[in-house]
Chain A
């Protein structure tokens, strides 16, 4: 079926897939970091993303800041909010039932969605790019994603904080015994994860319009991506995110928009039937 598509359209599909993939990469990497360090799944991750988008939107409207620069402001704002939410909410239920994380996230989803809806109303919002051509936008989006992901990689791999984060995600107790302040690492990774989500949100608001409710499904897709890519594996999140974006883009063209959300789950189910522990997961007894 794909062969019947003419080359220019094929290129369009691939480019679109890459751009959507960039957003998934940012979203999934943040979620993955939080999961890796805290072993908590933050289903409200999509709401942090949309919040980041709205903050950048307001900055570009009221301050006139270039949306690509406002990414850094919204990163800081959402990151600080993330730290606060980690302290007040997630920290309290660490170590209790896994479902509690879900219910807590659901509660947070309701709170964040409706706060955004009160502040910015339900009308779809689009950040107007300062550039004339869409192609330039796309190049910048891919560039910014690469920049931020490189920074993220350097932070995780080359700095002391990053090493502490990796140590905590490998073995919490051992990390604690080595003198790492695990609580600080929790706060930091949650803040960093939500900051990455804020970046994704700003980029999303530049390429398509957002509403307060458009974060729910992307968060679950990001979760699918990190499960497929192996829970806690940073490279898996990147490859998975780009792959997911491409597959979704192809599926929407071939099967139609109805299948946009379903196709990722079909792949997930097929993969898990063959490998119940995920693509790169370790086999358990």
Chain B
């Protein structure tokens, strides 16, 4: 439910150089009205630089940023009116929680009564009732995070930018805060742009994931799309474990690729890109079989190791030619006969494999 004031942001061919170093190279991305977009990538990939360009803190070397079709490239951050949550929260240490949240409202010259009403509303919304008079130093990391969110959202910004907001939190708290941010996005409906280096966070939170590497946008799409149809090997490997099988004699025919893996015929649907010498299959998309299945893609493997991980068990396998394969199986469905040294089969559906 996008609110009327949620903005659409468009970046056109953004380039950013720091001296000789090219931090961003020809990045174009449209962030839809009310969307939740995560900028994902390893450190040094340019994701934070891109956020700073959107925020206006860094002027791009080339390219334009548009808000609802209006060119805002030259607009300084104080004139853009975006909300921002910084890494490390960046709260005002000498002000109380209420004063922190009131600061942007005072800057925008709201009336005293409105400031009081809005501060109370925001404190309530992020679940900090009763903490308004405390200084940030007296709060836990999660609570400080909530103050930062409340402060950034106080002025009902058209866009909320978040720079690795959860990187300092432990895993459980992280999960809680992710739910919290998702709830806030649903309730407020404003456009969220969220930077993270954690792929599961990106997949769990967003409507669009934009993956960066070496200053270039590698792929942007829905979580399922980027995970199951990665545009290239970097995206495939960055988003999770993946098995890459060398394919010989690969050729495409009517949207289906054919080839051989260690002599066995393999089929996989492929788009216009065609078939290549590397077929990728996610570990959870492979099925464990004790004997050779009747049809479809299947390869014989031998078990080298098992890792018990609670709900699932990971099987480390190797093919006759020495290609390592990982398979993940629900622990409850794990056959007892599978022990190191055992010979098994891995099978997968035609549409689960893709050429890289």
Q: Do A and B bind each other?
A: no
Binding site for B on A (CB under 8 A): none
